[in-house]
């Protein structure tokens, strides 16, 4: 992101891929990119990319105006280098490439310094699945299914519908939808325009205060800003390994492979390499390491003491993790 | 795709063995078909000249 105009290119900084189709005056025809919690490539397909390229070319040649006009005209670019919180992060690294997620982390750090940070702020650029919409990855206006009881279901959206407008904006992709959703407040009404069997349908979604939050934010690098981590990396035991350790197949079983140097949380708990974490805070969810950290980051504060159970040499031991502040970045 | 003017903004990460800064990256042909351009303003000028839309990509290699 070195030198990139952050006002011109606003997108989900936790992503590892994002694309814009633009005209030569900074206008955006459409966005391409975005992911669901469990799959980084959930909506990146060759079919959809080619379809969008054709669609954008057609619209460009027809002289259609972009749906997003630059909001920066006449203003000097705002670059990552201008964010004060980035400088100490970069100073601790050998390489000076600014990652997309660095920008988000630095901006969130700025909010922390101001005392206005809230955990919910990591849930940026909500994807349509947060509304209960399962969008076809190949045809990104097409509704594949609708989750029962969701805002989309309550508004009467149906499988097979084609979404043409979200809010006041024409949409072609989930990236477009996420852009509209990003700009919405919590607890609001969202107009939606659909095509159903060739008929025009208009409806309105009612969104709850916490609609932007998703079940598994562990993929987001920015989650490191949300709260404490446990200070170690671990590998999930395979099913045969769990069986050999007399653990159920769906149980938590994380074998410690790396202790963060000088991190007091695992040190004070007496955690060792090779220990297997089988319970944390009374939970035995079959988490990955990232999901384990995410649980702590989203549900605990620095200073909290959390009970855990580990297995060492076939025997169970109770330990206590005390959550200390420890800066994970940068490598 | 060949009708597109393509701008590619990529920030190569040290872990990949390349510590090049963005402004030092030269346009690179991909499969002999696509030349990615790493400078947005340069891409915009070319898009103006060719009257083509731009495909601007941000990709992170971690």
**pLDDT, mean of residues A32-44:** 94
DSSP A56: H
Contact of B18 with chain A, judged by CB distance below 8 Å, is answered with no
Contact of A62 with chain B, judged by CB distance below 8 Å, is answered with no
Residue A103 has a pLDDT of 95
DSSP sequence for B10-30: EE--GGGT----GGGPPPEEE
Contact of A11 with chain B, judged by CB distance below 8 Å, is answered with yes
Cα A301 versus chain centre, distance: 21
Residue entry with tokens 């000028």 = B45
**pLDDT, mean of residues A59-85:** 87
Q: For residue A53, which residues of chain B lie inside 8 Å, CB to CB?
A: 1, 4, 55
Other Cβ atoms closer than 10 A to B30: 10
Residues A198-215: pLDDT tens digits?
A: 999 999 999 999 999 999
In angstroms, the CA B4 to CA A54 distance is 10
Contact of A2 with chain B, judged by CB distance below 8 Å, is answered with yes
Helix (H), strand (E) at residue A17: strand A17-22
In angstroms, the CA A34 to CA A37 distance is 10
For residues A165 and A171, the answer to whether their CB atoms sit within 8 Å is yes
Average pLDDT, chain A: 94
Angle at A144 between CA A142 and CA A147, to 5 degrees: 125
Inspect the interface and report whether the beta carbons of A99 and B23 lie closer than 8 Å.
no
Instruction: Report phi then psi at A115, rounded to 5.
Output: 80, 20
In angstroms, the CA A314 to CA A322 distance is 24
Inspect the interface and report whether the beta carbons of B53 and A1 lie closer than 8 Å.
no
At residue A92 the predicted structure's pLDDT band, cuts being 50, 70 and 90, is: confident
For residues B12 and B25, the answer to whether their CB atoms sit within 8 Å is yes
Higher pLDDT, B1 or B48: B48
CB interface of A with B, residues 93-112, below 8 Å: 93-101
pTM of the model: 0.88
Contact of A23 with chain B, judged by CB distance below 8 Å, is answered with yes
Expressed in percent and rounded to 5, the helix, strand and coil fractions of chain A are 30, 25, 50
Contact of B60 with chain A, judged by CB distance below 8 Å, is answered with yes
Inspect the interface and report whether the beta carbons of A19 and B62 lie closer than 8 Å.
no
DSSP sequence for A135-154: E-SSSTTBEEEE-TTSHHHH
A89-98, A108-117, B18-27: which range is least confident on average?
A: B18-27
In angstroms, the CA A311 to CA A275 distance is 6
Residue B29 has a pLDDT of 62
Name beta bridge partners: A316: A311
Inspect the interface and report whether the beta carbons of B55 and A19 lie closer than 8 Å.
yes
In angstroms, the CA A290 to CA A254 distance is 11
Characterise A175 by phi-psi region: left (phi > 0), alpha (psi -120 to 50), beta (else). Answer: alpha
pLDDT at B60 over 80: no
What ipTM is given for this predicted complex? 0.89
């Amino acid at each position: 992101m070195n030198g990139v105009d952050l006002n011109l290119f606003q997108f989900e900084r936790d992503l590892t891929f994002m694309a814009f189709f633009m005209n030569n005056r900074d206008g955006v025809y459409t966005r391409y990119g975005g992911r669901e919690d469990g799959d980084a490539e959930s909506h990146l397909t060759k079919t959809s990319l080619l379809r969008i390229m054709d669609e954008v070319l057609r619209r460009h040649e027809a002289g259609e105006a972009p749906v997003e006009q630059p909001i920066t005209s006449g203003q000097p670019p705002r670059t990552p280098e201008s964010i004060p919180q980035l400088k100490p992060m970069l100073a601790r690294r050998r390489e000076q490439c600014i990652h997309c997620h660095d920008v988000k982390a630095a901006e969130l750090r700025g909010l922390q310094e101001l005392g206005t940070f809230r955990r919910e702020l990591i849930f940026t650029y909500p994807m349509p699945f947060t509304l209960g919409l399962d969008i076809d990855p190949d045809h990104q206006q097409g509704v594949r299914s609708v989750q029962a009881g969701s805002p989309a279901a309550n508004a009467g959206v149906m499988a097979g519908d084609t979404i043409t407008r979200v809010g006041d904006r024409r949409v072609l992709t989930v990236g477009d939808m996420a852009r509209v959703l990003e700009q919405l407040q919590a607890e609001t009404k969202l107009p939606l325009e659909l095509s159903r069997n060739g008929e025009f349908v208009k409806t309105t979604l009612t969104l709850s205060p916490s609609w932007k939050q998703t079940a598994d934010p562990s993929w987001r690098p920015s989650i490191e800003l949300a709260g404490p981590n446990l200070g170690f990396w671990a590998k999930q035991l395979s099913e045969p390994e769990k069986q050999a350790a007399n653990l159920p197949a769906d149980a938590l079983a994380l074998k410690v492979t790396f202790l963060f140097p000088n991190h007091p949380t695992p040190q004070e708990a007496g955690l060792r390499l090779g220990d297997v974490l089988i319970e944390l805070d009374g939970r035995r969810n079959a988490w990955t390491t990232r999901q384990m950290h995410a649980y702590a980051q989203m549900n605990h504060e620095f200073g909290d003491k959390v009970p855990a159970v580990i297995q060492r040499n076939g025997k169970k031991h109770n330990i206590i993790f005390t959550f200390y502040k420890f800066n994970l970045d940068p490598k | 795709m060949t009708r597109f003017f393509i701008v590619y903004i990529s920030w190569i990460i040290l872990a990949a063995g390349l510590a090049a800064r963005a402004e030092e990256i030269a346009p690179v042909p991909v499969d002999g078909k696509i030349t990615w351009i790493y400078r947005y303003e340069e891409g915009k000028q070319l898009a103006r000249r060719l009257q083509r839309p731009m495909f601007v990509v941000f990709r992170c290699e971690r």
